[in-house]
């Protein structure tokens, strides 16, 4: 899969250094992944939430942070839409962001 955009992740871990290693690990793993559908994500990330609009919510850093992405399975792209704390996540609509 190709992750768009690592810059968003870097900006977040600059503000939250404890998120750097988990986000780097997630990024590296997803870049190597070949997801054909949501079940491929759930097989690897059991705690991931599959939402409408091709969105997936990942728990990052021991569930301290949330990462929302849009996955385009056919084209192989993963678009980072949001990364933040639980409090920040609670203020967004993950299905629309």
Give yes or no for residue 1 having a pLDDT over 90.
yes
Instruction: Note the CATH number of domain 2-90.
Output: 3.30.2310
The domain limits of the chain are: 2-90
* Measured CA distances, 18 to 24, 38, 58, 66, 83 (Å): 11, 28, 16, 13, 13
* pLDDT on residue 19: 97
Has this prediction a pTM greater than 0.85?
yes
DSSP per position, 15-35:
H-GGGHHHHHHHHHHHHH---
Joined tokens for residue 4: 């768009």
Could you report the per-residue pLDDT of 68-77, keeping only the tens digit for each? 999 999 999 9
d(CA 93, CA 97): 6
49-74 confidence digits (pLDDT tens): 999 999 999 999 999 999 999 999 99
Please report which confidence band the pLDDT of residue 37 belongs to, taking 50, 70 and 90 as the band edges: very high
**pLDDT at residue 70, as a whole number:** 98
Torsion sign, CA atoms 61, 62, 67, 72: positive
Mean pLDDT of the chain, nearest integer: 96
HSE-CB for 35 with a 13 A CA cutoff:
25
Q: Residue 5, SS3?
A: coil
């Amino acid at each position: 899969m190709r992750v768009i955009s690592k810059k968003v992740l870097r900006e977040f871990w600059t503000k939250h250094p404890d998120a750097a290693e988990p986000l780097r690990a997630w990024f590296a793993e997803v870049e190597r992944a070949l997801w054909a559908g949501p079940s491929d994500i759930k097989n690897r990330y059991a705690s991931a939430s599959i939402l409408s609009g091709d969105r997936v919510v990942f728990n990052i850093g021991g569930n301290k942070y949330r990462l929302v992405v849009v996955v385009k399975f056919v084209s192989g792209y993963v678009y980072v839409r949001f990364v933040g704390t639980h409090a920040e996540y609670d203020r967004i609509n993950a299905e629309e962001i």
